[in-house]
Structure formats: C-alpha cells, structure tokens
Structure 1
Amino acid sequence: MKAVLFDLDGTLIDTAADFIRIIQDMCRDKGIAVVSAEDIRVQVSEGARAMVKLVYPELDVEDPIFLAHRQRFLALYGADIAVDTDLFEGMYALLDELEQHQIPWGIVTNKPRSLSEALLKALNLTERCSVLVCPDDVSKTKPDPEPMYLAAKNIDLDAQDCIYVGDHPRDIDAGRNAQMYTILAAYGYLPLQHKDDLTAWHADCIVKTVAELHEVIHDLVIKPKTLNTATL
C-alpha cells in the first residue's frame, strides 16, 4: 500500500460536537425536547438532511420549508465550523508518521467542498492533505468508485495501491468497488441501522480505536516501505 485515504466526518475528524450544538440549539429555537447527543451522533454520517430531520420529523425532506431549515443549519455550521471539532485522539501521530515516511494521505468525502476546505483550514490541515475529493468534483458520489479513482489519480497512484478508511457502509462499498484495501473505523459515527453486524460490511479490516488503525497502517504501509528502503 502506497497511500492512505480517509472519509472525513467520523473517521479522520471528530466533528460531532459542533453538529450536536447546532441541532440542539435548533430544537430550543423550535421549543421542542432537545434531541440527545447520541441520537445526533449516529446521524452525522447520513448528512445534514438526516440531522435536520431530527428537529423537523413532520416535514418532507423536499418541502421548501424543510430545505430552508437545512440551509440554515449549513449556514450556522459554516459560520462556526470548528468550535469543538478536532482530529480524533491519536490521529495527529498517525498523520505525522505517514508524512515522516513521505506517504501521501488524503480525503474522499461526501461533504461539500466549501465546508471541507473551511474545516481543513481551521485545523491547519490544508497543506498537509495531499488530495481532497468532494461531491463537487465528481458526477457520482460514494458508494460509486468514481471519487476513489479520482483521488488515486490525483496522487499518481493506482486505486489498488491505496487504503481507504471509513465509518459508513458506503465508504467500504466505494473502496471495495475501486479495489482499495478497506478499513472500517468502528470508533466513528456508525449508522444505527448498520452497527449491529460490522462483518456484513465486508471490509478488509475492522479497527475499534485510532491506536488500532495506526498499528494496521504501520504494518501495511510504513513497515514495508522501511524494509524496502533498508534493502536498497
């Protein structure tokens, strides 16, 4: 393996706290019972529509009123995108080691580019990230392999030489469809309807912590590169 690609929310970066803050504030504005943090967390990987639906379950997602609330949610999030957001604990050490060994890492996400770029800038990751692929860049999003192929192409690698790490079935499907080595990040925002049987996702590997992820990536990427260099 020659590169590591990550999903963004729930895999590389722990963004849930900021989503929870905004959704709970929207509940208070509406005068309804505040949705629990855990109920919001498991919807993060499903996107803005699923989170806003927690506040407005009575509205159809195509209703103009619902769409206006969704837009308000995105505006609030974009205005304060990294108040309580940071990389998952242990992730900085993993990225540092990849960079020390000149192994590119990047992001393939279903998060809009404007928000993804703002988040990376807030966390000082823009220059460190070798490739960022968002829905804006492709005609088909995950689980289609198109974003995966584009990410690999942009770092001059074959998709089969890349690892993809994600916390949603569509992440694993997209990676598998592109013949990447897939790692299921079970520490992430696992969707409620898919979290009971993680083996059904058919990932090549399942990790429960970032420490486990670091160990797996070290064995798949760092160690082989070190051994190859030592034989030159």
Structure 2
Amino acid sequence: MIQAVLFDLDGTLADTALDLGGALNTLLARHNLPAKSMDEIRTQASHGAAGLLKLGAGITPDHPDYAQWRTEYLDEYDSRYAQDTALFDGVNKLIAELDKRGIKWGIITNKPMRFTDKLVPKLGFVIPPAVVVSGDTCGESKPSVKPMFHACEQIQINPQHTLYVGDAERDIQAGRNAGMKTILAEWGYIAPEDRTETWQPDYRISSPLDLLKLL
C-alpha cells in the first residue's frame, strides 16, 4: 500500500539544465574557456556543481582551486536559478492525481537549501510538497539514507509504504537502502555511458504520468 511518493528534483520533477548550464557557460566565458553544449550539460546536470565543473573546466573536488570555482559557479547560478527552469510535462497532472488518491508527495534533492527553498515555490506545483529535504538538511546527502528517513519522519509514513523516483544511481541506492520501492525516471539527466541496468531500480518509467500505472 503506497502512501507517499517522494521525488528527486533536478532532472526528475524540474528541467533545471538550462539554468545550471547557463551559469556554467557564463563562468567558463569569464575564464576564457569554451562553452559546453546543452547536450553535454544535460548528462552532468544531476551531479550538481561538481559534475558541471569537471565537465567545463576539468576541475574536480581534489583540485586546489575547486572551492573558489564552486563558489563562483554557485553565485552565478544564484543570479538565474529560476530563469529558464520549468516542470517536466505531466508533473502537475501526476501530483493532482496523487492528491486525489490521498497519497502524499515530497522532494528529496541534493540541491543546497540555499536554492531549493527559493526555487520550489516558484515552480508552480499544483499542490505544495508535504516535505522538502535538501542536500544540506541532514548533514548528509544521497546516496546516504539519512535524507530518506528524515523525509519519512516528517510526513509520518513508513519507508516501506513509499516510492522514490529519481534519475541518478545515488537516487536508486538511497531509496533501496532505506527500504523504499525505487523508480528510475528515464526522461532525466542520464548520460550515454550510464549503465542503468546495473542500478537495479524496482521500476522504470519514461514519463511522469506512467507512475500512475504502478499505483
């Protein structure tokens, strides 16, 4: 008996790649580096600042200048986080139907609270989320199970009665390890080299409304 459906945000509920990528390309131009195409950006968008900085500048978290690059990138993203971001087609219809069936919904994202708290109210959800857990809400982010358990505690629903929907391997790992049923959002930011068959989600769906067939 599913009582709640929890979702990743970037690449699952909302198409944030245009703003994430726009911020990256502005930063790259400032450093006299070539822009990246949106196709390239989409494959890394779920991996946040770390994935995008590696893509654009070859800067990884062990690089001595990583902290400065990350700060610059986040400041740039802060100036345009909701400029071109929008919900994927079918998301609001799905949420309305979940509400009609008495099923709670919420968000568990690795996006920092700094952005989540501002972005979520601007996305135009037909029903507000029952819970929002950001990457820094619990001190640990996915694939840790901490955010998963925290969300369930907030809405007072057992993880065993919860579905988790995401587009990254860490989403499936976190959901499974927390005892949730997991769903891979195949419309999300999945790279060609990602071997999704090894992630072992319980289900796969190709559009948000396909979720209703599983309930």
Q: Same fold (TM over 0.5)?
A: yes
2:181 is the alignment partner of 1:184 = no
* CA displacement at 1:77 relative to structure 2: 1.1
CA apart distance, 1:104: 1.1
| Partner in structure 1 of residue 167 of structure 2 | 167
Conserved? CA contact 1:56–1:66, under 8 Å: no
Distance 1:191 1:203 in 2: 17
Give the corresponding residue for 1:90: 90
Q: Secondary structure at the match of 2:182?
A: strand
Structure 1 unmatched ranges of 5 or more: 221-232
Show the 5 A alignment for 1:111-126: 111-125=111-125
Please identify, of 153-162 and 73-82, the stretch whose mean Cα deviation from structure 2 is larger: 73-82
Structural RMSD (CA): 1.9
> Is the CA contact (8 Å cut-off) linking 1:106 and 1:132 kept in structure 2?
yes
Contact 2:95–2:126, Cα closer than 8 Å, also in 1: no
- Structure 2: which 5+ residue stretches go unaligned? none
Contact 2:108 2:133 in 1 (8 A): yes
Cα 1:75–1:105 change in 2 (3 A) is same
Would the aligned equivalents of 1:26 and 1:55 in 2 still touch at CA under 8 Å? no
* Correspondence list, 1:19-34, <5 A: 19-34=20-35
Cα displacement (A) at 1:73: 1.2
Q: Does 1:210 align with 2:208?
A: yes
Classify the secondary structure of the residue corresponding to 2:187: coil
TM-score normalised by length of structure 2 = 0.91
Contact 2:23–2:80 under 8 Å retained in 1: no
Change (3 A) 1:60 1:106: closer
Is the CA contact (8 Å cut-off) linking 1:98 and 1:105 kept in structure 2?
A: yes
1 CA distance for matches of 2:39 and 2:182?
26
SS at match of 1:138: coil
Give the AA of the match of 1:5.
Answer: L
Does the alignment pair 1:61 with 2:71?
Answer: no
Query: Measured at CA, do residues 206 and 60 of structure 1 come closer, stay the same or move farther in structure 2, by a change above 3 Å?
Result: closer
2:199 pairs with one of 183, 198, 201: 201
More displaced 10-residue stretch of structure 1: 120-129 or 91-100: 120-129
Q: State the SS of the aligned residue for 1:135.
A: coil
SS in 2 for 1:43: helix
Describe the superposition over 1:8-44 as per-residue Cα deviations: whole angstroms up to 9, x where unpaired. Answer: 1001111011112122222322223221111111111
The 3-state SS of whatever aligns with 1:54 is: helix
Q: Counterparts of 1:75 and 1:61 in 2: how far apart (Å)?
A: 17
Q: Which amino acid aligns with 1:183?
A: I
Larger radius of gyration: 1
Q: In structure 2, the residue corresponding to 1:42 is in which secondary structure?
A: helix
TM-score (norm 1): 0.85
Q: CA deviation at 1:118?
A: 0.9
**1:210 Cα deviation from its structure 2 partner:** 2.3
User: Counterparts of 1:50 and 1:60 in 2: how far apart (Å)?
Assistant: 8
- Cα separation, 2, equivalents of 1:191 and 1:146: 26
Q: CA deviation at 1:192?
A: 4.4
Paired-residue identity, %: 37
Deviation at 1:98, TM superposition (A): 1.5
Letter in 2 for 1:4: V
The DSSP-based 3-state class of the residue aligned with 2:136 is helix
Could you tell me how far apart the structure 1 residues matched to 2:88 and 2:76 are?
Answer: 23
Distance 1:149 1:157 in 2: 10
Deviations 1:112-153 (A, max 9, x none): 112111111222449701001123222432112221111111
Aligned residues: 214
